[in-house]
Amino acid sequence: MIPSVEVSYAAEHEAPYPDHQTAVLEYEKRTDVGPGWTLWYMQSGEPEHYRIGLDIDSVDTAVKWAEQHLYQQLKVRENRLRRMADRQGLRLQKSRRRDPRAVDYDTYHLLDASSGAVIHKGLDSGFGLSLDDVELELTG
């Protein structure tokens, strides 16, 4: 039996979920749908899972697929939050910082769409909000 594989993001990768940077791939043999991989990850603070196709037969292929899936989920969520911000007269902006060790790396802030003034931020210097924080600001 192929063991479960923990997919963690190294410094050079963009972590899809800054607050939850680990996803777990699990190989299982099920009698109802046959053997296959299941990807477990966190979304909006809740555990989610996605069943990967049965044709993936190696750990390396499953890990690559999982990274692509998680990155796609991040972009979908980010775009959804951008649309929510637009409807509220705000603009979601992501930090352009490329140094993974920087405190504002891979974080966001919300701007007033008309004036460009920072409305919500997590750090005094700007940015600092995770996508979870942004979602709370927009829905709260």
pLDDT tens string 49-59: 666 665 566 66
Report CA 25 to chain centroid distance, whole Å: 16
pLDDT range class, residue 34, cuts 50, 70, 90: low
Mean pLDDT of 56-72: 74
Strands (E), 9-134: 22-30, 34-43, 46-51, 90-94, 108-112, 118-120
Whether this model's pTM surpasses 0.75: no
Tokens read off for 117 = 């003034």
Report CA 70 to chain centroid distance, whole Å: 6
- Strand 118-120 versus strand 22-30 pairing type: unpaired
pLDDT at 8: 42
Q: In what order do the strands lie in the sheet with 118-120?
A: 90-94, 108-112, 118-120
3-class DSSP state of 42: strand
- Range of lowest pLDDT (31-40, 77-86, 89-98, 116-125): 31-40
